[in-house]
């Protein structure tokens, strides 16, 4: 995972939530993940999936095998499948 426009990289989608600020985008590679997502900040941001390894192209989707729970803030989801 990468926060768009920065050099911040994370090993899981959930761990990226601690480094994001309002209006940023978390970019995820177009692969399958197995994790539960629970954003922990009261902000609005975007979670965008389907990126290539270098995060320059967005040719597909990211699949998350788990749950998504949003208790605070808002999240816009793009090119992400949650099963």
At 69 the pLDDT is 96
Separation CA 45–CA 64 (nearest Å): 18
Handedness of CA 10, 25, 50, 52 (dihedral sign): negative
Separation CA 73–CA 78 (nearest Å): 17
Instruction: Give the number of C-alpha atoms closer than 13 A to the C-alpha of residue 25, restricted to the C-beta side.
Output: 13
**Average pLDDT of the chain to the nearest whole number:** 95
At 6 the pLDDT is 92
At 73 the pLDDT is 95
Residue count of the chain, please give it. Answer: 83
Please state, for a pLDDT cut of 70, what percent of the chain lies above it.
100
φ/ψ of 15, rounded to 5, equals -65, -25
At 13 the pLDDT is 96
**pTM value?**
0.92
């Amino acid at each position: 995972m990468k926060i768009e426009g920065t050099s911040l990289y994370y090993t899981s989608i959930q761990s990226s939530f601690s480094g994001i600020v309002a209006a940023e985008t978390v970019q995820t590679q177009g692969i399958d993940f197995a994790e539960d997502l629970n954003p922990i900040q009261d902000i609005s941001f975007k979670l965008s999936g389907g990126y290539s390894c270098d995060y320059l192209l967005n040719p597909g989707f990211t699949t998350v095998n788990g749950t998504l729970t949003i208790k605070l803030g808002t999240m816009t989801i793009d090119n992400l499948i949650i099963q």
